Amino acid sequence: MTWNYRILYTEINGEEEYCIHEVYYDENMNIYAISEDETYFPGGSTIEELKTEMYNMFSAFENPVLNKKSLLNDFEKRRRSIAKKKKIDSI
């Protein structure tokens, strides 16, 4: 499993919001999950770990912004497809 930080865009009550989330990829580098909540506080048990975490979060600005609503819709479609396949396979 691979993951990185990405910027996600969403609209809440007509207001634009951009947040950094953890994004998880499958073996084909397709996004299959995101962190439920935004990432607010980087941390580490040493200064070097904190520096690495900050660098990783800052690298999110090097990638395209993702649309959170679209991702969640895709996840739901995939979940339904898998559930339907499992139901057919069990018959």
Is the entire prediction scored with pTM above 0.85? Answer: no
Residue span of the structural domain in which 46 resides: 2-89
Percent of residues, the chain, with pLDDT higher than 90: 69
pLDDT of residue 86: 77
Mean pLDDT of all residues in 1-11: 93
Residue 91's pLDDT band, with cuts at 50, 70 and 90, is: low
User: How far is it, in rounded angstroms, from Cα 9 to Cα 28?
Assistant: 23
pLDDT at 1: 82
- pLDDT of 41: 78
Q: What is the number of domains present in the chain?
A: 1
Specify the pLDDT at position 16.
Answer: 92
Residue indicated by tokens 């770990």:
49
